């Protein structure tokens, strides 16, 4: 008999729902069905059917936007004000998939460039890559699922989706909406399962593409075990750096850094984590950030006035507490916070000059902590910013065009924001980590490209 996992609200740890956990036998059947669909080209869904399903999906989601937002807040602890934005982004993501279907075209390949190719014409088409298995993270429980599943639907790939066990209800709701919108159930399978079963599913030879959002340790391990021929995209975390120079407008940057650092209590892969400020400005920057952080309301994410919700599990509060205590013992100054507020919440925290070898300086915090460091030479700030084995997004605050362009060139990041926080994103831009932070590129259009492959026809006239 299948097990059942209870889903808890991360603030009060009360049960809000339950989901059935699938066994390997269940998932093996799903893989067979999905693989059979892809192998039988006569069953492929034409573009107009996929567009119709996605249009209906966006319409249904729009009509249930508030319910979806409350579900995100309830199971994931994301403040309702931000959960509503996540729902809007998710709907936009579905609609973006429709737009990208229209761009999913091949091209003509010139053949008469040499005598050997003369007398032929050639063109390419994009075909679905095969069965997609998508494993997702807890921190955006609806929008991440949309970014992984909707592109699979849009490209005509059968998909098996595994949400985080902490936040499966939003995924379940989205899959049910796809069915309601007209997607035949065999094209999308909800595979809530334990880690050992998930690994067996992901590494199965019937999988054509593996999409993973989560920890680097797990992602790279799974990539090393993929079956030959399985393509993949991995999205992990970072410890996003911010460079401030002497010309920067401090008052203008504080609200941006506060949002970028404490959005979803810092549980975002590109959260502001390491802020480097000139020694003559560092006290002012840290103090003003502390004032803004201390004014944030912490509590139950379902309360529309709350700005920082709980961490996803009590164990994460324990970990953040240990990391901050370690930094303070090493000489960091607590400008605000530095303490847990309860079993499930931690105070928004600003640390000034933590040791370079402290966990808060070398690893992704994934909690409500921002570190501020002083520097005397801008090149030393770049060196510190680039010192870690992972890199994602970064930012620079300056009024100098020279400094801005220097930062764009010298910061080791896939995207450098000028006069904005590191967590900025729109869903049609490329979104990816470098080094240990990821593999391949996210973003709706980029994901759809990865889920398809070229086929060329060469016609001899």
What residues are annotated to the active site?
A: 235, 269
Q: How far is CA 151 from CA 49, 180, 349, 374, 451, in A?
A: 14, 18, 38, 43, 8
Which residue matches tokens 């059968």? 158
- Label the pairing between strands 15-21 and 3-8: antiparallel
Q: Residues in the chain, how many?
A: 461
Query: 97 near 178, Cβ under 8 Å?
Result: no
Q: How many CA atoms lie within 13 A of 171 on its CB side?
A: 32
Query: Distance (Å, rounded) from C-alpha 79 to C-alpha 289?
Result: 20
Check residue 431 and report its DSSP letter. Answer: B
Which of 235, 233, 208 has the alpha carbon at shortest distance from 452? 208
Q: How far is CA 97 from CA 30, 101, 160, 247, 429, in A?
A: 24, 6, 18, 41, 13
Backbone angles phi, psi at 272, to 5 degrees: -60, 125
Sign of CA dihedral 291, 79, 343, 198: negative
CA 156 to chain centre: 23
| Beta-carbon contacts of residue 60 (< 8 Å; ≥ 6 apart) | 177, 180, 181
Query: Distance (Å, rounded) from C-alpha 138 to C-alpha 219?
Result: 15
Which residue matches tokens 């088409």? 125
């Amino acid at each position: 008999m299948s097990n059942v996992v209870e889903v808890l609200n991360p603030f009060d740890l009360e049960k809000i729902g339950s989901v059935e956990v699938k066994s390997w036998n269940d998932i093996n059947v799903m893989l067979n069905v999905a693989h059979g669909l892809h192998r039988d080209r006569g069953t492929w869904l034409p573009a107009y059917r996929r567009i119709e399903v996605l249009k209906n999906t966006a319409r249904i989601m729009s009509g249930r936007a508030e319910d979806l937002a409350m579900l995100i807040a309830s199971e994931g602890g994301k403040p309702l004000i931000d959960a509503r934005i996540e729902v809007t982004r998710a709907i936009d993501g579905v609609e973006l998939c429709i737009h990208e279907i229209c761009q999913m075209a091949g091209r003509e390949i010139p053949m008469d460039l040499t005598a050997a190719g003369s007398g032929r014409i050639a063109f390419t088409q994009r075909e679905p890559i095969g069965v997609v298995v998508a494993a997702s993270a807890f921190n955006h429980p609806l929008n991440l699922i949309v970014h992984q599943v909707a592109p699979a639907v849009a490209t005509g790939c059968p998909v098996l989706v595994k949400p985080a066990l902490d936040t499966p209800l939003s995924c379940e709701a989205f899959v049910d909406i796809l069915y309601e919108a007209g997607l035949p159930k065999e094209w999308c399978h909800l595979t809530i399962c334990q880690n050992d079963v998930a690994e067996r599913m992901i590494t199965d030879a019937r999988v054509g593409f593996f999409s993973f959002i989560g920890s680097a340790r797990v992602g790279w391990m799974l990539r090393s075990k993929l079956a030959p021929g399985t393509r993949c995209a991995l999205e992990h975390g970072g410890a996003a750096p911010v460079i401030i120079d002497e010309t920067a407008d401090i008052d203008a940057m504080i609200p941006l850094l506060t949002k970028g650092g404490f959005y979803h209590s810092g549980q975002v892969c590109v959260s502001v984590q390491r802020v480097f400020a000139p020694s003559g400005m560092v006290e002012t920057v840290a103090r003003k950030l502390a004032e803004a952080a201390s004014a944030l309301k912490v509590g139950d994410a379902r309360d529309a006035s709350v700005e920082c919700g709980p961490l996803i599990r009590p164990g994460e509060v324990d970990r953040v507490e240990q990391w901050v205590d370690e930094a303070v013992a090493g000489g960091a100054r607590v400008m605000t916070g530095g303490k847990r507020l309860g079993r499930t919440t931690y105070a928004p925290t600003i640390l000034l000059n933590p040791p370079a070898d402290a966990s808060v300086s070398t690893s992704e915090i994934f909690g409500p902590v921002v570190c501020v460091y002083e520097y005397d030479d801008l090149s030393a700030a770049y060196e510190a910013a680039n010192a870690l084995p992972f890199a994602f997004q970064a930012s620079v605050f300056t009024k100098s065009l020279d400094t801005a362009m220097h930062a764009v060139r010298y910061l080791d990041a896939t995207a450098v924001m000028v006069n904005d926080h590191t967590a900025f994103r729109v869903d049609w831009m490329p979104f990816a980590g470098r080094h240990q932070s990821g593999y391949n590129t996210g973003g709706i259009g980029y994901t759809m490209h990865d889920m398809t492959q070229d086929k060329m026809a060469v016609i001899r006239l």
